[in-house]
Amino acid sequence: MKKIKFILLVLLVFCTGCSHSSIPEEKEKQVSEETQAPFEQDTCFKYHYEQLNERQQILYQEMYNIIFNIEEEGKISNKDVNDIKVVHEALIYDHPELFYVEMETVYDDYRLKPTYYFEKDEILTYREQLEEAKEDILADLPKKDTYEQMYYIYEYVINNVRYDENSQNNQLLISSMLNHETVCTGYAKMIQYLMQEIGVNTSLIVGGFFDENNQLQRHAWNMIEYDNDYYYIDATWGDDEENQMVLNEYFMFSSEDMLKFYTPETKYNTTSNLQNTYFIKNNLYFEQYDISLLVKAVNKEDRTMLLRFSEDIYPNAKNRLTQTNDVFDILTKAGIEEEYINYSCDDRFQVIKVMW
């Protein structure tokens, strides 16, 4: 099973230790007035920032400015260790491009000292390489609607990234964008990084799933804001490396489907309009088993037929398509004569894929 590994946030408090008392109003006001660019210029979708209280949002802005500028240390208005932990997570979840920050040390005089994975010159080099890689990827972005562009990114990530638990820096964006080897965190951060570049609000969702032994395994995936609604993408599970296939059931699925398979720890939004989920939007979802209707799902160019059925008819549809000659009858009606076929079934999504 593919799973996520997390880097633990370490917060050290020196001198007299951390203080949980309120910050004097004058000091908080003084620091917050200094909170300005680059945060004010940041256009990323800050979903996790929106979940913070006002005090934490001010801290978020201050920490963002320090980290974005790769400063050795900077002043903050809030030294509450729990707030810094919460804000650190929000920053990392909102900003895959802040790949280089590992943890922060907070001092009793309101100084924050970040610890970076790399030296400053290395970080700047990685930034340039990320920009170049992003431009190369998006140079072939289809000149179609946003939905098609999102699918291009999803397919690109799957076709160009390999899952490897032993890959270097596999919790960081550079593992997927530059090294092309990563784990689920890298897949999700690459999706987030590229989607935001084409103007699609994308968030990192962190949580887990229960494996075949009913053990909770860590995982990460994405929430997409599209057409005033929210959908989900999991490029890690969409990457069927064994069969070298892109699994479309993990592109633009609903919150209802998400909760069947995942246990999110971060906040998420529900899907209200199923019309933009992949199978419904592409007329590949069926609530009755009718061969004359299934013919429409035949893709002659790709030599595939992809189908999703409602839960109540899926068992019968699976039996008919895998145990009888119905598939060949469907292909004949579509003007295709084949002697051999292959198929795969995803029982969780009630999806059947036929290939010839």
Within 69-202, residue ranges assigned H as helices are 81-94, 120-138, 146-160, 173-177, 184-197
DSSP assignment of 321-350 equals HHHSSHHHHHHHHTT---S--EEEEETTTT
| pLDDT for residue 1 | 41
| pLDDT for residue 37 | 63
**Contact status, residue 187 vs residue 239, Cβ threshold 8 Å:** yes
Dist. CA 16–CA 32, nearest whole Å: 24
| pLDDT for residue 7 | 30
Instruction: Note if the pTM is more than 0.75.
Output: yes
For residue 220, the number of C-alpha atoms closer than 13 Å in the C-beta half-sphere is 23
Dist. CA 87–CA 81, nearest whole Å: 10
Dist. CA 278–CA 285, nearest whole Å: 9
Q: Rounded to whole angstroms, what are the CA distances from 161 to 153, 180, 302?
A: 12, 4, 22
Structure tokens at 221: 């995936």
Q: Which residue, 164, 195, 203, 174, is CA-closest to 116?
A: 174
Tokens 């590992």 belong to which residue?
Answer: 102
Tokens 């994308």 belong to which residue?
Answer: 202
Q: Are strands 298-299 and 342-346 parallel, antiparallel or unpaired?
A: unpaired
Question: At residue 270, what is the residue type?
Answer: T
**Contact status, residue 18 vs residue 80, Cβ threshold 8 Å:** yes
Dist. CA 288–CA 273, nearest whole Å: 21
Dist. CA 322–CA 334, nearest whole Å: 18
Dist. CA 214–CA 206, nearest whole Å: 18
Phi, psi (rounded to 5 degrees) for 138: -80, -5
DSSP-based three-state secondary structure for 31? helix
| pLDDT for residue 266 | 95
| pLDDT for residue 12 | 29
Q: Which residues pair with 74 in a beta bridge?
A: 112
- Tens of each residue's pLDDT in the chain, 356 residues: 443 222 333 332 222 222 233 333 444 444 444 444 688 888 889 999 999 999 999 999 999 999 999 999 999 999 999 999 999 999 999 999 999 999 999 998 999 999 999 999 999 999 999 999 999 999 999 988 999 999 999 999 999 999 999 999 999 999 999 999 999 999 999 999 999 999 999 999 999 998 888 888 899 999 999 999 999 999 999 999 988 899 999 999 999 999 999 999 999 999 999 999 999 999 999 999 999 999 999 999 999 999 999 999 999 999 999 999 999 999 999 999 999 999 999 999 999 999 99
Dist. CA 303–CA 320, nearest whole Å: 20
Dist. CA 326–CA 314, nearest whole Å: 15
